[in-house]
Amino acid sequence: MARTQDVVVVGAGFSGIVAARDLIERGHSVLVFEGDARVGGRTYPQTFKGQEHLTVELGAVGLVALSNPTIVEKLLGMASR
């Protein structure tokens, strides 16, 4: 038997997750599709070598990459994995 949903949310970034939560709270059945292996969208928290007690959010760096990709390379080169 096929399942049906009231709403399908495409993308599990901040907006998609909040939209799904709000819809569920209002009684809708929701299915969330995410194309990446993780939720969170463009958020990208990282720690840096020697500063493991700090977390830096690099998510918006993707927007900067359009105009200056070397900034992203430098930041990610400093990030510990």
**d(C-alpha 52, C-alpha 2), whole Å:** 47
Per-residue pLDDT reduced to its tens digit, 4-25: 899 999 998 888 888 999 999 9
Strand partners, 9: 32
* pTM for this model (two decimals): 0.57
Per-residue pLDDT reduced to its tens digit, 32-79: 998 887 777 777 788 888 888 888 877 655 544 555 556 556 655 655
Nearest residue to 79 (alpha-carbon basis) of 65, 68, 54: 54
